[in-house]
Amino acid sequence: MKIVIFYFFIVSFIMSGCSMLRIIVLEPPPLTPYEHIMLGFAYESKGLLDDAIKQYEAAAKKNPDALLYLGNAYFLKGELDKAESCYKKSIRERPENSDAYNNLAWIYYLRKENLKEAKYLVKKALELNPDKRDIYFDTLLKIEEIE
């Protein structure tokens, strides 16, 4: 998308009496991490996960909060190894992000592996964000059912 600026040059052309009109085409400024995340949400809501992933990856370069969304998009694609990696990195970068703990625990639950670690993770999520108790407690119950 290019922005064409005419006004300044038309005025300059008229005022200078020049016979040659100049037009400059400017590139739009790069998107902010927040804008990449919002665009990623839009793509994800349309089921365009590859496009969403590209946006989340761009955002994650400057905003570690995007790692959670990137992990979620990989999860939705069924790429659990990549989702796991994103959730782990999210926990390292933003240890207060309770959703990353819960989501990583959910991956372990689905794989039926690292169940002790999964319980620890979901309990940490509960500790960090008691407002999401219903969601996280459901994860904990599921893990305990197969443990």
Neighbours of 143 (CB within 10 A): 23
66-92: per-residue pLDDT in tens?
A: 999 999 999 999 999 999 999 999 999
Domain count across the chain: 3
Same-domain pairing of 101 and 87: no
| Cβ(59)–Cβ(90) below 8 Å | no
CATH number at residue 53: 1.25.40.10
Chain centroid, CA 93 distance in Å: 14
Domain span at 145: 95-147
Average pLDDT, the chain: 88
Neighbours of 39 (CB within 10 A): 18
Same-domain pairing of 60 and 17: no
Same-domain pairing of 37 and 79: yes
Tokens of 17: 């009496």
Same-domain pairing of 38 and 88: yes
pLDDT at 8 over 60: no
